[in-house]
Chain A
Amino acid sequence: MSEFSGQTHGDTPAAKSAARLNDEMLSSMAPPTWRWYALAFVLGAVVAWGLYAFSYMVATDMSCTGLNRPVMWGLFIVSFVFWVGLSHSGTMVSAILRLSRAEWRRPILRAAEAMTVFSITVAGLFPIIHLGRNWTFYYLIPYPNQRGLWPNFRSALLWDAVAITTYIIGSTLFLYLGMLPDLAIARDRSSGWRRRVYAVLAMGWRGSAHEWSVYRKASTLMAALIIPVAVSVHSIVAFDFAVTLVPGWHSTIFPPYFVIGAINSGVAAVITLMIVIRKAFRLEEYLTPQHFDNMGKLLLVISLLWSYAYFVEVNITWYAHEPIEWEVFSFMANRYTPILALMILANTVLPISTLCFKRLRRSIGVMLTVSVLINVAMFIERYLIIVPTLSRKNMPFMWGSYFPSWVEISIAVAAFAGFGLLYLLFAKWFPIMAVADVRELKEREAEVRLGRAKLPADVKDEL
């Protein structure tokens, strides 16, 4: 906190009026430029292509994928796990920071939480996309039905469905709750039908002291509740693999390992996003190197944790040397050497060696490289968990290999575009910066004169 305030001088946010703060932070909601349209068009086109690929798959059959026996899961599930992991960014980061009262969190809250909602939404699509008969996905929904059958609650996939739904609902609420006061600001600053929409969304927020008090309690409670949900979601995704008999998946370290991996990719994604938003909306004043420094420290810790978990997993397999498991690992190392090396470089070597240094943590370029590479590595990690393992299952006669087809690649790429598009729309229609939160910080950092003494404007802390 002190570091943060130490950095503020000159034309700092603290020195600006509330109106100007509002203007700046809501600049993203200004009428779209041609660049915005161009970007939206490109992303939309990619999404449309992905939709075409998906429709093609639904209309024909799954032979247009690269899936086979034994590799029955491929890029769809890799993407699913990846996007679930990414969704840990936001809520998790935001909730932890909120609870630990890290004041520097405020400018990035919204961006992170929105990312959670969108990535979990994208993630949630993949299990449905990957079904052989997508049109019967509702068989998984537990409701009294004329089929007289109930889904199987022993199946990790059903846990998945429950966990993901919970997480989508929870993180949306979390995002929405945090956005309430800002929606009110948006309402007050807009007119016409927009105003009516924002009015509905703002639920009549007027900013009274009572409202603020309830709001604060609610958001703290949500923050506390969303953390176990987030942890459980990725644990359950890990259960998809860990509860099976598949050599290489059947591993007790998977749940914590997956959670760490998820946070790793989530934090990295938040950093990437901060850099993008900072650049796109010219928010250099709000997202300072200080923020990157702090996030870099967080990333360093997670990266160390991830490396530890990976080391334990591989080391124990090597030590046990169970023939078929070792077969899986040696196959992975032999066949996928380049991407395995890239994964270790980007997930372990690079972050640990760079993030130890303050100067590098404060370099936007370095942070961008590291954070993007970590997500590349995390994607590879999921690929290496799923594909080589299934390629070398217990029956050597039925070993196989897998390479994604154009349909799978299209859909996976479209997922990124779709995520981007959702984000683009969100940033245009909703305040991407947590205006109220930032202003609250300003208020608190402001000092009031009381006699001779200068006192903080706000002596009461949160809670």
Chain B
Amino acid sequence: MKKLTSPYTWGMVIDLDRCTGCGACVVACQAENNVAVCGKKEIAEGRNMHWLRIERFWVGEYPDVRVRFLPVLCQHCKDAPCEPVCPVYASYHNPDGLNGQVYNRCVGTRYCGNNCPYAVRVFNFYSHEWPPPLDNQLSPDITVRSRGVMEKCTFCVQRIRRAKEEAGGEGRMIRDGEVQPACAQTCPSEALVFGNLADPKSRVARLTRSPRSFKLLEDLGTHPSVTYLKGGGREHV
């Protein structure tokens, strides 16, 4: 069998020093990926469907109190804990280093959700509906997930696919910055940078080498494709 290889290893850098916590990425993700609207009850039950969330931490006490924001999305781990536990290969690794999720393959064991230390996998506890005409907004590029399946951030794989087709048609590689997931595209402060880690000259690869870089829950050995850059300064904490 031919081994599947790819010249791309998609990755992201999240600069916590730039992140203002505004939430633009959250809505961008929801708009791009047909993520269901969840009502108050649903979120109260812990069933929010957002693929991307901004965690907010309070540090210290008044008046020496600080806020830390941490945008968390699927880390697209190279050694993803969600992948081996899925009994039906709904969660799989693609040659680009993406952590894929095949919705129609998923039987809903939710094992991946338990084993994901980042808690970024969301489960369709509800059968979600879009009261018309809100359903007109649904993107034709992405499946609308049925109840009983897991879903999560895909790094906007539909955009990557399209960019690959276009680049392929022109017989070239995807240029740095040509493809961006919705969150990175919209981030006002440009805290999110997306690109090809396999290209050492790409912006994302250069930022990954920053001395401020760290991975989330690095000690677990999941080897995420998302690198965080520590918030600088904050010397008065």
Contact = CB atoms under 8 A, between A and B. Distances in A.
A442 interface: no
Contacts of B222: 245
Interface string B20-44: 0000000000000000000000100
Contact of A398 (B106, B114, B119, B123): B119
Contact of A68 (B47, B81, B84, B149): B47
A71 B47 CA distance: 10
Contacts of B86: 152, 155
A63 interface: yes
A161 interface: yes
A60 B108 contact: no
A128 B42 CA distance: 24
B109 interface: yes
B108 A395 contact: no
Given A60-B127, A149-B88, A151-B89, A245 B115 contact: yes
A161 B105 CA distance: 18
Contact of A155 (B57, B84, B121, B122): B84
Contacts of B220: 245, 394
A431 B85 CA distance: 42
A158 B87 CA distance: 6
Contacts of A244: 81, 85, 114-115
Contacts of B81: 244-245
Interface residues of A, number: 44
B122 A139 contact: no
Interface string B110-137: 1101110111011111110000000000
A132 B105 CA distance: 12
A137 interface: yes
Which one of A60, A156, A393, A395 has the greatest number of beta carbons of chain B within 10 Å? A395
Interface in B77-115: 81, 84-89, 105-111, 113-115
Interface of A is mostly: loop
Contact of B148 (A127, A131, A246, A394): A131
Given A60-B127, A244-B81, A244-B115, A73 B56 contact: no
B233 interface: no
A69 B113 contact: yes
Contacts of B46: 68-71, 400-401
B48 A139 contact: no
Nearest to A58: B148
A141 B150 CA distance: 20
Contacts of B156: none
A62 interface: yes
Given A65-B125, A133-B149, A157 B118 contact: no
Which one of B86, B87, B122, B124 has the greatest number of beta carbons of chain A within 10 Å? B87
Contacts of B147: 61-62, 132-133
Contacts of A9: none
Contacts of A62: 108, 123-125, 147-148
B61 interface: no
Contacts of B198: none
A61 B114 contact: no
Contacts of B150: 132
Contact of B125 (A63, A149, A151): A63
Interface in A142-174: 149-152, 154-158, 161
Which 4 residue pairs of A and B lie closest in terms of their CB atoms, listed nearest first? A132-B108, A132-B148, A68-B46, A72-B110
Given A131-B107, A156-B85, A157-B85, 9 more contacts: A61-B125, A61-B148, A68-B47, A69-B48, A140-B107, A151-B87, A151-B88, A245-B115, A398-B119
13 contacts: A61-B124, A62-B123, A62-B125, A63-B47, A68-B46, A69-B123, A70-B113, A71-B46, A72-B113, A133-B107, A157-B85, A245-B81, A390-B114
Interface of B: 42, 45-48, 53, 55-57, 70, 72, 81, 84-89, 105-111, 113-115, 117-119, 121-127, 146-150, 217, 220, 222
